[in-house]
Each structure stands twice: as structure tokens, then as C-alpha cells.
Amino acid sequence: MLLAEFENLLKQAMGLDAASIGSRSIARAVQKRLAECKLEGLREYWKLVSTSESERQELIEAVVVPETWFFRDREAFTGLVRIVQEDCPASRAQSPLRLLSLPSSTGEEAYLIVMALLDAGLTVERFRVDGIDISRRALALAERAVYGKNSFRGNDLDFRERYFEATAKGYRLSDHVRRQVRFQAGNLFAADFMLDVESYDVVFCRNLLIYFDRATQKRAIKILERLLRPQGVLFVAPSETGLLLSHEFISANLPLAFAFRRPSVNASGKQTEAMAQARVASLRRGRMTQPATNPKPIRAFSASALSTAISLPVIAAAGEPKMAMDEAARLADQGRFVEAAKCCETYVLKNGPSAQAFHLMGLVRDATGNHPEATTYYRKALYLDPDHHEALIHLALLMEQQGSAAGARALRDRARRVEQKHKA
């Protein structure tokens, strides 16, 4: 019995790409369940898991990564408030705003949406949040709403004083926040997944797409598109942004929020006028107003360090120590941009220029609103690897923001050709 069969089962069941968490994690989960079921060998366990739905769910519980915490990417919540205030005036009071946290894991994200909106002055009748996750165990914790230290990271914990009560078991969330969220078990890839629900104004789908391969990500994005109303807003994690852009989602132009508007197309497949207007408005807003959080450009890279790096010989992609770059990407995913940037700098100084490192350095600059440096790094990445899909997509977006529609189109065309090449 090969581990690959279990990996394949998990991919079919929940979309999981074994490479995203590593085959070893899957092997550990299988061994854990095998021991808990008191079975002798893999063959016996395979028989059970491939015929019993409840055991399949247990295996899923053993592999999921429920890691989450309050204010994972603070700016997403600042961005949410801004979108709600601009898009949903009081005239909408008759129909409450619909928001979705998918996957909600143990509930921190869904509850933080509620706290952010209450802090912004919305009354409880004006909005409703749904939290969906495949893990019933995570959802049970979400409903309990008592959180330990691990859920409160960073120093800005003022919200904890206002919305939680310290108890012997942990911090207990106020009932009026709890009541705003309805949790429900759901698998994004189930055939009947949320078929009959009214569409959402806002969907948070953060740190889920990273667990899927490209084809599965595409399926997931189609489902998310169905769940969003036209021009509804989708929030993703920093490393998931490239994906959205390659599906024609449009940046909501909120620095560091990683928010995108659903494309709305008419019957002929063209963008509607309303959509085009929204896009122009959002671009103008992006240029004419200060970022909500006034992020400081990161200065972790000195000009001299970079010029040294550029003059070093190019290292072939296959020889790159993947782990260092994985670590940098992980830090960027967590919003720890200064550390991610430092990690890339060290990497480049040690190993020489790398498309992957330059792309990530661009992403970090982009995320903090430093567009000129972001452009430079994306170009450096493309110089080293003209087929770097994400660098092509991110640079296209920047060019669009800077008003260079033709340049952006050319880059998107190149990105499409790269995709076709990979498919072939």
C-alpha cells in the first residue's frame, strides 16, 4: 500500500496538495489514525478509510492545519472597514451585509470581522458573518470562543480588553460578538457546497488556496466567484494575490489588505461599464489617498548590498536552497514583511541573484506601497526568469495602477503564454 494512495484520497476529498504540507505530515496523520483505530497495517486502514465517511473525516481532522490568530494581517481588517464604509451606505440598512470567513478554522478571523465592524460603528442588525470550515474540531472551538495566548499575538491587544473576559480557562469572548457569527461545517469541494445560499458582499478566504495545486486553486476560485455578489470583495493571504490577478480579479487598492473585487462580466464576456467605473474609482482612490495605515517603506536592503548582489553570477533555479525561500515566503504570508525582506537579502548575498528572491522582494515592497522599488524587483526577477508567472502578473497590476494599460496587457499575455506552456 503506497502513501500516494492516501495522498490522492485527500486530494479528491478536500483538494489538499501533498507537496504543500509535505508527504511526511500526511504519513504521520495516517500512522496516527491507524494507531487510534488499533489496526495492524496500512492495507487494513486503507480499507476502512476508503469505505467509511466518518473515518475519512477523522483523517482530514488529522491533516488540517488550523493555525490562525486574531489580527493575522491587521490591514485586511482596516481595509474591510474602509470597503464597508465606502460601498455600503446607511441606505442599505434594510438588507444586512453578508460576510463569509472560509475557512474560519477556530473562529478568530470571523470574530475579528465582527469586532472590526462594531468598532467602525455598525450596529448588529446591519451585518451577519458566516464561518465555514471542513474541520468539525476547529468549529467546536470556534463556537466555544474561549482563547489562549496563542490566539493573541503581537502587542496591540486593546481589543482583548474590550471584547473578552479573562477566565481560568482563557479569554472568553463577549456574547454579543459570538451571536453575530454562525458557524457551519463545509467542504469547499463538496458537490453541494453552498449551492442555495444568497451571495456574499465580502468573503475572507485566506490561507486556504496555498494548500492546493494550480488546477485545484482554479476550481476553488470559481467557487469563490460564485459565492460573491458582482463587485463583492475577496480577501486572500499575501502569497495568494498572484492567483487572483491571473483570474482577472481586480485589486481593491487597499495597501496590505490583499483584497480583490469579483470581476463582473456581461453576456458577451466584456467588463460591464459599472465594473470599469469601479475600477477607475478604485485606482484613483489608490493614487490620491494615503494608505489606511501609512506603512513605512521597508529599508532592509541597502543600495550597495543590492548592487553587489546583482553583479554576482546567476545561480540556476534547481540549485537554490529551497528552504530559505520557503521561510521567506512563510514570513511574508504572516505579514512579517521586514523579516521576510531580511531573509531574502541574506539569501541573495549568500547565493547570488535569484528570480524567486527578487519576486518576493518585489512583493514585500508592493505590499507596503513602495511601488517604484516593487517594479524594479519584479523586473529583476523577470530578467533572470522571463517565465516567472507571478512576477509577470504582479508587474502587470502595478503597470495598470500606473496607467500603462498596454504594458500591463502585454505582461498578462506573456503570463497566459507561460500558463499554456506549462499545461503543454
Ligand X SMILES: C[S@@+](CC[C@H](N)C(=O)[O-])C[C@H]1O[C@@H](n2cnc3c(N)ncnc32)[C@H](O)[C@@H]1O
Q: Which stretches of the chain bind ligand X, using CB under 6 A?
A: 14-15, 64-68, 72, 103, 105, 109, 133-135, 138, 187-189, 206-208
For the residues of 23-53, what is the DSSP string, one character each? HHHHHHHHHHHHHHTT-SSHHHHHHHHHH-H
Lookup: cell for 59: 483523517
CB of 186 to ligand X, least distance (A): 6
Tell me whether residue 109 or residue 130 sits nearer to ligand X (CB atom): 109
Tell me whether residue 334 or residue 375 sits nearer to ligand X (CB atom): 334
Tell me whether residue 20 or residue 272 sits nearer to ligand X (CB atom): 20
CB of 188 to ligand X, least distance (A): 4
CB of 244 to ligand X, least distance (A): 15
Give the number of other Cβ atoms within 10 Å of residue 309's Cβ. 23
Tell me whether residue 73 or residue 345 sits nearer to ligand X (CB atom): 73
CB of 278 to ligand X, least distance (A): 26
Lookup: cell for 372: 517604484
CB of 286 to ligand X, least distance (A): 24
Lookup: cell for 44: 487494513
Tell me whether residue 67 or residue 143 sits nearer to ligand X (CB atom): 67
CB of 94 to ligand X, least distance (A): 30
CB of 78 to ligand X, least distance (A): 16
CB of 12 to ligand X, least distance (A): 11
* CA gap 111, 314 in Å, rounded: 47
* Residue 196, Cβ density class (10 Å: 0-12 exposed, 13-18 middle, ≥19 buried): exposed
Give the number of other Cβ atoms within 10 Å of residue 410's Cβ. 14
Residue owning grid cell 461599464: 273
Tell me whether residue 220 or residue 411 sits nearer to ligand X (CB atom): 220
What is the pairing mode between strands 259-261 and 228-235?
A: antiparallel
Q: Residue 367: which of 289, 293, 309, 281 has the closest Cα? A: 293
Tell me whether residue 134 or residue 411 sits nearer to ligand X (CB atom): 134
Residue owning grid cell 453578508: 98
> Please, which residues have CB within 8 angstroms of residue 398's CB and are 6 or more apart in sequence?
366, 371, 374, 375, 378
Q: Residues 89, 99: contact at Cβ < 8 Å?
A: no
CB of 402 to ligand X, least distance (A): 30
Angle among Cα 361, 364, 365 to the nearest 5 degrees reads: 90
Q: Is the peptide bond before 103 cis (omega within 30 degrees of 0)?
A: yes
Tell me whether residue 33 or residue 380 sits nearer to ligand X (CB atom): 33
Tell me whether residue 72 or residue 262 sits nearer to ligand X (CB atom): 72
Rg, Å, the chain Cα set = 22
Give the three-class secondary structure for 151: helix
CB of 221 to ligand X, least distance (A): 13
Tell me whether residue 111 or residue 189 sits nearer to ligand X (CB atom): 189
Helix extents (H) in 291-336: 303-311, 322-333
Measured over all CA atoms, what is the biggest interatomic distance in the chain, rounded to whole angstroms? Answer: 66
Give the number of other Cβ atoms within 10 Å of residue 374's Cβ. 23
